[in-house]
Structure formats: C-alpha cells, structure tokens
C-alpha cells in the first residue's frame, strides 16, 4: 500500500498560470510512489475542486484526490492592500489547515507555501518545501523550519540555494536542487518542423510588467533579420494579445509575426512541436526573474527538439544543458538576431540525453529525497 502524501498549497485552482500547471504535473507523476491528495484554498471567485471543471484546464491523474478548503480571509475578496492581505491570509489559512490535516504521523507533506511549511515543521511532520523564489519572509521561515527534525527543502535552481542564507554544510542531507521538468507524455516523436519558426509560449506579463515582446516583434523589421524567419506568440491576458496584434498591424509585420490568445495545453504543445527555435525571456527589473526561475517552457522547448535562444541572465545560465543555449544580451537587436542565426545552424538535443529533465525522473528524485 502506498504512503499518503498531502500536497498542501496556497495556490488557486483552476488557473492559466504556469505555477499551477507545474503543481498538477508534479502531482500526477508522484502518484507512482504515493497516494496523493492536493489541498488548496477556495480563495478566488472561480476557485473550484470540481474535477469536471479542473479537467478543462489540466490533465489530472485519476488517482489524485483533490480537496478545496473554505477560505474565509480577505485576500481575493478585497481589492486594496493586496500584498499585505496575501501574507496575512496565507498565514491564517496555513495555520488553520495544518491544524485540520496534520494529525496523522505516517503522512508525508509537500508544499510550495511558506507558512504551511513552517506550521508543519513545528509539529515535527515529515514535510518538504519546494522553494521557487526568495523574500525576507521566506528566508526567515526556511531558516526557522529547517531546524526541525523532519523538514526538507527542494530548491528550483542553484542560485536559490546559494542565496537562501541556510547553512548548506550543516543541513546537507536536508537540501537538494531539482530544476523543473517536462511531461514527456505530451510529445509526439514525428512532427514536421517549420525550420525558421521561432515561438514564445507563456504569460505576456510577469510581475505586473509586460515582457517587452514589442521589442522582439520589432526586430523582424530589421534589415539584418533573415526574411524567412517567422515568429509565433501564444499567451495571455487577452488585452495584451489584442494590443500586440494592433502593433503588428501598425508595423506591417502580419506575414512574419502572429500572436494568439491562450489555447489548451495540448494545442500549445502542437504549435511548439512544429517550431524550431524557442524564445526564453524574463523581466529585467525583477530579481526573481533574472536569478531564480526554472521555466517550464524551457524544458518543453528542448524536449520538443527546439533550439533555444535566451536572455543572458544568471537563471538561464543555471539551467540544465545551458551550454546548448544561444544567449543574447537583453534588448540588443544585433545580439538577438545573431543568436537566432546561430540557433538556426545548431542541432537540437538528442532525446536520449533528456531523460534527466523529465517529470518521471524528477518524481523519482523527490521520492528518494522524501524517504
């Protein structure tokens, strides 16, 4: 009989955000080793644990139990002081949910939420925290929580671990770096490629800022850009899609550039599979964006046999197989065009090399780390 693993998170489901896709993907693969229950707050207007609704957004393994928990706190209901209300609401909900579910000593726990980690660690529960970014609060919570006997931390990249402030030597057996991974089941092996097609898939805004896709679109008017290169963007929100489409029309780039609103994941993967180069960019004004990301799209790009061009940021240099990435300097036209030309001449990674970045392998590593 499988051991119980309760995945407790303050995320809201369903959502188009990549962080919820990452959670569902990992939960699905962890079912090979655990009886998994996903527990989250019903904190937004559209939050739901109805499996019929969730399956419109995600492919969820039938063995995953899903439980939405009442959220009687102000975040998501009051539209002012959002950051403060988020911290307070998460703390209060976390304390309440840990009291409610943390009674069985044989259960294991997994979380992305600071205060869930803290309250479970204080109860000396077997809990793993997956660290995706850093803040003063998170550093404080992690330092306190890791002192308890059964708490462990997974960092999504090496820079997160290095900057966490935790003594890596003292807690060597309780810390691990595991990048994101790819759901290999989404990919078909024999898809014809458009050899000059560049693609970006993702949220068109990050941390309240747009990703400056206007700049990348504008480079397709540059005299040094080969005329046979094409650019596809698939993302959300719709208002940003509409704005970019107006910009494309204004600049006369309809034949070279297309922007589509968010599509179901399998459709996005099909568009990715037909492309040859994946664009990896981040927001320059945000430390997390520059140093701490481990983007899902990167792993989908390389598994889909795309070459990758990326902004020359520390987070991107820390990615697996980063020696195969064609880097360019942020907002530098010539550097970007040069990276595209270089990528066009490169070979994609061999699929046999990529088993190490699959979610199947990641789940196995998590299982070993937990036990």
Tokens standing for 169?
A: 């030597």
> For residue 193, how many other CB atoms are within 10 A of its CB?
15
For residue 345, how many other CB atoms are within 10 A of its CB? 8
Question: pLDDT at position 74, please?
Answer: 64
Domains in the chain: ranges and CATH: 3-177 (3.40.50.2000), 184-352 (3.40.50.2000)
Alpha-carbon gap, residue 127 to 362, rounded angstroms: 17
Dmax over Cα atoms in the chain, in whole Å? 66
- Which residues make Cβ contacts (< 8 Å) with residue 167, sequence separation at least 6? none
Residue 199's nearest CA partner among 260, 120, 290, 284 is: 260
Q: Residue 85's pLDDT is what?
A: 79
Strands (E), the chain: 3-8, 34-42, 65-70, 108-111, 126-131, 151-155, 175-177, 197-203, 205-206, 209-210, 230-236, 257-261, 277-280, 307-311, 326-328
Q: What is the pLDDT along the chain (371 residues), one digit of tens a residue?
A: 899 999 999 999 999 888 999 999 999 999 999 999 999 999 888 899 999 999 999 999 999 999 999 888 665 555 567 777 788 889 999 999 999 986 667 899 999 999 999 999 999 999 999 999 999 999 999 999 999 999 999 999 999 999 999 999 999 999 999 999 999 999 877 778 999 999 999 988 876 777 899 999 999 999 999 999 999 999 988 999 999 999 999 999 999 999 999 888 889 999 999 999 999 998 888 899 999 999 999 999 999 999 999 999 999 999 999 999 999 999 999 999 999 999 999 999 987 889 999 999 999 999 999 98
Q: What is the pLDDT of residue 96?
A: 93
Per-residue pLDDT, 45 = 85
Give CA separation, 75 vs 8, 32, 71, 84, 275, in Å. Answer: 18, 35, 9, 9, 40
Per-residue pLDDT, 351 = 78
CB 10 within 8 A of CB 44: no
Instruction: Check whether the bond before 40 is cis (ω within 30° of 0).
Output: no
Distance from CA of residue 341 to its chain's centroid? 28
Q: Which pLDDT score, from 0 to 100, does residue 196 have?
A: 95
| Residue 79: predicted pLDDT | 59
């Amino acid at each position: 009989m499988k051991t119980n693993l309760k995945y407790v998170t303050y995320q809201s489901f369903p959502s188009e955000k990549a962080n919820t896709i990452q959670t569902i993907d990992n939960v699905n693969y962890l079912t090979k080793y655990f009886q998994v229950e996903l527990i989250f707050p019903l904190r937004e207007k559209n939050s739901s644990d109805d499996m019929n609704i969730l399956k419109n957004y995600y492919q969820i393994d039938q063995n995953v139990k899903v439980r939405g928990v009442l959220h009687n706190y102000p975040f998501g209901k009051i539209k002012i002081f959002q950051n403060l209300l988020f911290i307070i609401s998460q703390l209060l909900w976390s304390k309440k949910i840990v009291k409610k579910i943390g009674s069985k000593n044989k259960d294991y726990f997994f979380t992305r939420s600071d205060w869930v980690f803290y309250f479970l660690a204080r109860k000396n529960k077997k809990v793993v925290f997956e660290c995706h970014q850093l803040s003063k609060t998170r550093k404080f919570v992690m330092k306190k929580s890791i002192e308890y006997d059964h708490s462990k931390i997974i960092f999504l990249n090496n820079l997160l671990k290095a900057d966490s402030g935790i003594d890596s030597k003292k807690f060597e057996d309780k810390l691990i770096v595991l990048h994101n991974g790819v759901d290999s089941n989404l990919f078909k092996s024999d898809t014809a490629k458009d050899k000059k097609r560049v693609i970006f898939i993702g949220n068109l805004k990050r941390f309240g800022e747009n990703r400056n896709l206007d700049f990348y679109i504008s480079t397709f008017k540059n005299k040094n850009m080969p005329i046979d290169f094409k650019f596809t963007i698939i993302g959300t929100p719709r208002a940003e899609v509409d704005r970019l489409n107006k910009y494309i029309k204004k600049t006369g780039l309809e034949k070279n550039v297309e922007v589509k609103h968010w599509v179901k994941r399998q459709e996005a993967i099909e568009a990715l599979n037909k492309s040859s180069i994946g664009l990896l960019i981040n927001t320059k004004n945000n430390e997390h964006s520059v140093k701490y990301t481990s983007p899902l799209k990167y792993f989908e790009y390389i598994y889909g046999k795309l070459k990758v061009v990326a902004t020359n940021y520390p987070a991107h240099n820390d990615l697996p197989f980063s020696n195969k990435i064609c880097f360019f300097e942020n907002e530098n036209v010539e550097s970007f065009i040069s990276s595209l030309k270089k990528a066009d001449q490169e070979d994609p990674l061999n699929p046999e090399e990529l088993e190490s970045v699959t979610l199947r392998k990641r789940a196995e590593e998590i299982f070993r780390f937990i036990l």
